[in-house]
Amino acid sequence: MNILQGTKVYSIITGSCPVCQKESMYKESNPYKLSQTLKMEERCSHCGTKYKIEPSFFYGAMYVSYPVGIAFAVAAFVISNLILKLNLIVSFFIIAGTMIAFLPVIMRISRNIWINFFMSYKKEEHSS
């Protein structure tokens, strides 16, 4: 994981602050605590970056969740139909199940991608 540190991929996968990547943007690290899935810190306690740039900033993440959801659906299809050779109807239910099971992850990844469109990693001058 450390190889990716400093890249947008790292922030997107870990949900860490897009600017310093020192801490998580989310109050609860487990996305499957559904009441907490989208609860985010106001700002980064390390670098002070405000995550919510404007009041409805994260509504834009909905546009990102669409292609992210499709990516999960395609992955589920490839595994169930092409690799496990299950028939199309079974594959369909596996895809639907995958989408539901991964929804909290998809929602977070979408937000992480969205905020990384607007912010970039800045390496600290005084790195330890």
> What's the closest the beta carbon of residue 47 comes to Zn ion, in angstroms?
3
Nearer to Zn ion, 57 or 92 (CB): 57
DSSP letter for 79, please: I
> What's the closest the beta carbon of residue 34 comes to Zn ion, in angstroms?
26
Nearer to Zn ion, 98 or 108 (CB): 108
Q: Which residues pair with 24 in a beta bridge?
A: 16
The amino acid present at 50, given as its one-letter code, is K
> What's the closest the beta carbon of residue 78 comes to Zn ion, in angstroms?
36
Distance CA 114, CA 18 (A): 10
Residues at the contact surface with Zn ion, assessed by CB under 5 A: 17, 19-20, 44, 46-47, 49
Nearer to Zn ion, 17 or 109 (CB): 17
DSSP letter for 82, please: I
Distance CA 124, CA 46 (A): 11
